[in-house]
Structure 1
Amino acid sequence: MRYGKVKRLTAAAVAAVAGLSVAACGGSSGPAGDDKTLILWHMEQPPNRVAEFQKLIDGYNSTNPEYKVQAQVQDWNQIYTKISGAVQSKTQPDILFTIPDFTTYVRPLGAVRPVTALVEELDKAHTFGEAAKAPYRDDDQYWAVPLYGMVQMLWYRKDLMAKAGIAEPPKTTAELLAAAQRLTSGNQKGIALPAGKNLATDQVLYSLMLTGGAGNFFTPSGEVNFDTPETVRAITLYRDLLKQSPSDSGNYSWGEPQAAFNSGAAAMAIEKGQYLAPFEQESGRPASDLGCAPIPVAETGGKPGSIYYSNAAMVMSGDDAKAAGAEAFLKYVLQPENYGTLLNAEPGLFLPLTADGATAESWTSNQVVQKYRGCVDAMLEQSKTGGLFGFLDGQYVDSIGKISGQNVLAQVVQRVYSGDESPEAAVKWGDEQMRTAVAK
């Protein structure tokens, strides 16, 4: 059952947003290449991910397809304005990597092609999980091809926990706060959390909202319902945890909590699986010191969960032949013998979405996956209770991209962290901001 839809952007609003974006970008961000080149935009900027994505692309191009692929790396902090400007100037990429809420923002711009037949073909060949497909289906069409999943866990330093006399990772939010307080000593903080105006803060807060019973902040008809006691409770918890986080957390995005965790400046963090690969080298500790556990759950009204992303690719080619070429590339990516190259761009962070991909030797043979198989399996298990704002309980809220594009959740965190607002006042402000955003 699908419900919770709200009105899409009007044509005039799209034109206005796109016009502003062209000005913000300084003109066209047009792709380089010729009529036989497919331009692919992705937002995975770390050098190891760029290199592995390029390896996958080089492998495909070596098969001598009619249309070869060229990657251009983008920035999540700029992609909302950049893609609207590109569509307005007809210089959008042929393939754009996406997440569900971003897709709801891009679709009204007018260049996204439905890929229903392709998704159904790939599903028959490889078997997608329902959670991978559902956020991309609307108006009886699929609008993106699922590629890989991401889920968050509670990461903890077993060595630092042992020194503090904590035998087991926290299971409840009360235990989480108590552990963070106990682990804070001298230069060591109990937990490292992001509090910048960015997607990283949105994501960590939302995991705690999910496990606190505040994950669905829309009514069944798609109206904003953010100002609830459960949301206030989650914001209060985040505020209290930030007191046990490094003093510069207001500038934190993804990398800073991980650096604090690996250096021993923080004993816990909540994040996705990118913590696996660099742990030994960056911490100087053995792999056995890296612990992972499900996100702690509120004592009352909570349930297991984590933010969960099915990452996908939209086809945006203006030319039918190029669109067919883009689909051929995506078919190549999901072949089990190639799929591991994509997933191992960040082993543990990028999780398989297909049945044959989960058992593909190209992924399971990876050294990081093998070394941390316990945590990898735990993430796959956590994925079963994962969710994403705007897509819970069968909803497809068209306007969620307008909310996530403004990082409203992160702004609520900042108001209690930097602005000393009460959680109640900050949540009320967030509710008003969300209502204003979706009304535009």
Structure 2
Amino acid sequence: MPARRTAAVTSLAAVLALAATACGGGEGADTGPAALTYWASNQGTSLDNDRQVLEPELKRFEQQTGIKVKLEVVPWSDLLNRILTATTSGQGPDVLNIGNTWSASLQATGALLPFDAAAMEKTGGKDRFLPSALASTGAAGKDPAAVPLYSMAYGLYWNRKLFAEAGIDHPPTTWEDLIADGHRLTAGDRYGLALEGGSPTEDVHHAFTLAKQQGADFFDATGKPTFDGPGTVAAVKRYVGLLGTDRIAAPGNAEYANNQSVTDFATGKAAMLMWQSAGANLASHGMKPEDYAVAPLPAPAGATGDRATASMAAGINLAVLRSSHNTDGALKFVTFMTGTDEQIRLNRAYGSIPPVKDAQNDPAFATPELKTLSDVLRTSAAPLPQVPDESQFETLVGTAVKNLMGAAAAGKPPTDDTVRAELAKAQQQMPAH
């Protein structure tokens, strides 16, 4: 989710307990056969900005097909809850954006139309998409529950001027180097690194990446949660320790949850930032592309395979609800939105990476930032666990890490015992099967 799209934090179980008469939008049942309702996620700088980007494209689709699309841009803070309510009520949009990490959870509800061979062929086939993007469209061995729309990856953004002033001429490649550089860059009111420690979404993404680097996973091969294993404990301890032990991030970062870390980096209050496709956000704060550079996140020296994971495979997928009254039109819309020309227009507008391989050849995606992030996505990104309880995992582990960040800011640095206890508590709250 680019330029941090804040995910909903209400658990799947809680939302599924809502009455079946609740409605996530309800427009799908009211539109005629030549109309569609589309819920778009907030990808731009504001809801209005999204409407400005999308409405001309929806008009283009109407001109091509005769199908009118009613647009609603849904904030990330509401999107998951709205979708889950729609899946339980059978009422909602025809087509909708979903965070790609939710694919397997929403797939398990049975509410999404599977993209079987015939449906996928209408979009041009699986081979058009990046493998790392397709890997985040549902559980392994099942037909995808969605198709990729926008792709992102995390990178390490570093301030060229501040690095030069500290006598550092290249970005860190290991966590030990990042911590050492962070100490050299921390002076006065400026810190070496900015973190979004109050955001469960950001926290769980980094915990996942660091766990992969430890050779660990939050679920075993059977889908059973293993939150408090030694590798995951070490991963979370390292991440929280950037603030609580190494002190290269400001204590106030433990409360950041609304892009404040991006603002701190853009305004020179922090010299490094770990973020997804931040260029457009940085530009909105007046930071120019020549003021910073982007590198892959650090990894263990000499790491290969999963241990070299530098990012979760971030992105947005496009799904169709089974309850749609216009499935044929919905599939035409998906085909349009994932067409090469449309992929270029949309991803260029949002500063994201096209998951459609042919679209990446456009010069708009040849900037140093996007080239680096595209390389990460192609070579060292891994999908979050594609299990039915993934949304609960994100919420519970992300909240556990947020709690540890708060304790660290209050002067209680993370230890193996405190991290293990928080992760064990999160695991206990997972649904029983």
Shift of 1:257: 1.0
Moved more, 239-248 or 264-273: 239-248
Matched, 1:415 2:404: yes
Name the structure 2 match of 1:111: 111
Aligned partner of 1:293 among 292, 295, 302:
295
Shift of 1:338: 1.8
Contact 1:40 1:93 in 2 (8 A): yes
**Deviation string for 1:112-148 (max 9, x for gaps)?**
1112222234344862222222332545422112222
Name the structure 2 match of 1:333: 337
Q: Aligned partner of 2:93: which letter? A: P
Matched, 1:263 2:261: no
Contact 1:264 1:283 in 2 (8 A): no
CA distance in 1, matches of 2:159, 2:38: 38
CA distance in 2, matches of 1:415, 1:125: 41
CA distance in 1, matches of 2:335, 2:150: 14
CA distance in 2, matches of 1:435, 1:423: 18
Give the 3 Å change call, closer, same or farther, for CA 34–124 of structure 1 in structure 2. closer
Shift of 1:279: 3.5
Q: Aligned partner of 2:26: which letter? A: G
- Percent same amino acid among aligned pairs? 22
**Deviation string for 1:98-121 (max 9, x for gaps)?**
234312222343321112222234
Gaps of 5+ in 2: 1-10
Matched, 1:397 2:391: no
**Deviation string for 1:322-370 (max 9, x for gaps)?**
11101101111222222212112311xx2122221112x4xx3x4xx45
Contact 1:15 1:88 in 2 (8 A): no
Contact 1:21 1:84 in 2 (8 A): no
Shift of 1:219: 1.6
Gaps of 5+ in 1: 1-12, 391-395
Contact 2:40 2:73 in 1 (8 A): yes
CA distance in 2, matches of 1:59, 1:94: 18
Aligned partner of 2:38 among 37, 40, 46:
40
Shift of 1:380: 1.2
CA distance in 1, matches of 2:192, 2:63: 49
Name the structure 1 match of 2:208: 206
Name the structure 2 match of 1:196: 198
Contact 1:126 1:356 in 2 (8 A): no
Contact 1:184 1:190 in 2 (8 A): yes
Shift of 1:315: 0.4
Give the 3 Å change call, closer, same or farther, for CA 427–59 of structure 1 in structure 2. farther
Contact 2:97 2:316 in 1 (8 A): yes
Name the structure 1 match of 2:419: 426
CA distance in 1, matches of 2:125, 2:20: 41
The secondary structure found in structure 2 opposite 1:314 is strand
Q: Aligned partner of 1:87: which letter? A: T
**Deviation string for 1:207-240 (max 9, x for gaps)?**
33333433x2222222222223322222222222
Shift of 1:423: 4.2
CA distance in 2, matches of 1:175, 1:385: 20
Name the structure 1 match of 2:96: 96
CA distance in 2, matches of 1:304, 1:200: 16
CA distance in 2, matches of 1:194, 1:21: 34
Aligned partner of 1:248 among 248, 252, 255:
252
Matched, 1:388 2:389: no
Structural mapping, 1:304-383, within 5 Å = 304-319=309-324, 322-347=326-351, 350-359=352-361, 361=362, 364=363, 366=364, 369=365, 373-383=367-377
Moved more, 44-53 or 112-121: 44-53
Contact 1:416 1:426 in 2 (8 A): no
Contact 1:195 1:414 in 2 (8 A): no
**Deviation string for 1:165-223 (max 9, x for gaps)?**
11211110011111112111111111100111431222233333333433x22222222
Give the 3 Å change call, closer, same or farther, for CA 57–135 of structure 1 in structure 2. same
Contact 1:170 1:296 in 2 (8 A): yes
Q: How many positions carry a matched residue from both structures? A: 405
Give the 3 Å change call, closer, same or farther, for CA 340–300 of structure 1 in structure 2. closer
Contact 2:320 2:330 in 1 (8 A): yes
The secondary structure found in structure 1 opposite 2:158 is strand
Give the 3 Å change call, closer, same or farther, for CA 210–125 of structure 1 in structure 2. closer
Q: Aligned partner of 1:415: which letter? A: L
The secondary structure found in structure 2 opposite 1:345 is helix
CA distance in 2, matches of 1:223, 1:190: 37
CA distance in 2, matches of 1:191, 1:213: 25
The secondary structure found in structure 1 opposite 2:403 is helix
**Deviation string for 1:292-339 (max 9, x for gaps)?**
11110135874242111242111005245x111011011112222222
Contact 2:154 2:276 in 1 (8 A): yes
Give the 3 Å change call, closer, same or farther, for CA 21–403 of structure 1 in structure 2. farther
CA distance in 2, matches of 1:424, 1:49: 45
Name the structure 1 match of 2:16: 18
Name the structure 2 match of 1:6: none
Q: Aligned partner of 1:334: which letter? A: T
Contact 1:152 1:271 in 2 (8 A): yes
Q: Aligned partner of 1:131: which letter? A: S
CA distance in 1, matches of 2:14, 2:231: 36
CA distance in 1, matches of 2:380, 2:12: 35
Give the 3 Å change call, closer, same or farther, for CA 403–278 of structure 1 in structure 2. closer
Shift of 1:157: 0.3
The secondary structure found in structure 1 opposite 2:314 is strand
**Deviation string for 1:392-420 (max 9, x for gaps)?**
xxxx422222212x242342242253363
Give the 3 Å change call, closer, same or farther, for CA 402–15 of structure 1 in structure 2. closer
Q: Aligned partner of 1:107: which letter? A: Q
TM-score by length of 2: 0.84
